């Protein structure tokens, strides 16, 4: 799976990178694979092994080093942070798909790498507007959200999110996009 993330905050670039991960083997709840991060600073590949049975990071490997314990978990969690956007926004999808602020423009079949599934697009009813949700107030100047359920799963998955606006005096413009997915 590969994502791209780009954005600005107060007019300054904050993120322009891609992150991919591949599970290369899975047996008895042990998953082994690689992360690859590409940004303007170059590319970095890291191997990992996780025991899903007890939510333990067994190791992270970089170059010829195999790191274990708390440090391995910290590194693994850092790489997984972008995937945390999925969890954060998926938990809040009802705010962005069922509120008075947004509406669906329809559903179409989209292909990401080798995986095709229906995607529903949501946009703002009008721009700009102020939203007050979850204790946060923001002036929204751009918003597009695309979600779908990959085949063989019941997970509602964010494939595209573009958000621009101002909150607490900070202006931001961010895009999160699924580039490629292979469902095993």
Total domains in the fold of the chain: 2
Same domain (yes/no): 45, 108 = no
Round the average pLDDT of the chain to a whole number and report it. Answer: 84
Lowest mean pLDDT among 14-23, 64-73, 133-142: 14-23
Whether the pLDDT of residue 90 is over 70: the answer is no
Question: Is 3 contained in some domain?
Answer: no
Same domain (yes/no): 104, 147 = yes
Domain enclosing residue 110, as ranges:
93-180
At residue 28, the 3 state secondary structure works out as coil
Whether the pLDDT of residue 31 is over 70: the answer is yes
Domain boundary pick from 91, 111, 134: 91
Question: Is 5 contained in some domain?
Answer: no
Question: Is 2 contained in some domain?
Answer: no
Whether the pLDDT of residue 20 is over 90: the answer is no
Domain boundary pick from 41, 70, 91: 91
Share of the chain above pLDDT 70, in %: 93
What's the per-residue H, E or C state across 82-140?
A: HHHHHHHHHHCHHHHHCCCCEEEEEEEEEEEECEEEEEEEEEECCCCEEEEECCEEEEE
| The pLDDT value given to residue 15 | 67
User: In this predicted model, what pLDDT tens digit does every residue of 77-86 receive, in sequence order?
Assistant: 777 766 666 6
* Average pLDDT estimate for 102-110: 94
pLDDT tier at 92, thresholds 50, 70, 90: confident
């Amino acid at each position: 799976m590969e994502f791209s993330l780009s954005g600005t905050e107060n007019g300054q670039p904050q993120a322009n990178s891609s992150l991919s991960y591949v599970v290369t083997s899975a047996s008895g709840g042990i998953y082994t694979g690689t992360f690859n991060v590409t940004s303007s600073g170059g590319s970095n590949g890291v191997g990992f092994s996780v025991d899903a049975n007890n939510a333990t990071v067994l190791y992270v490997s970089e170059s010829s080093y195999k790191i274990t314990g708390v440090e391995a978990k910290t590194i693994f969690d850092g790489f997984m942070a972008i995937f945390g956007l999925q969890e954060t926004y998926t938990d809040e999808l009802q705010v962005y798909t069922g509120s008075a602020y947004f509406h669906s423009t329809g559903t179409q079949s989209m292909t990401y790498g080798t995986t095709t599934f229906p995607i529903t697009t949501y946009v703002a009813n009008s721009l700009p507007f102020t939203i007050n949700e979850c204790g946060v107030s923001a002036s929204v100047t751009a918003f597009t959200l695309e979600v779908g359920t990959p085949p063989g799963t019941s997970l509602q998955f964010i494939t595209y999110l573009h958000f621009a606006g101002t909150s607490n005096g900070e202006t931001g413009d961010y895009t999160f996009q699924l580039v490629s997915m292979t469902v095993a």
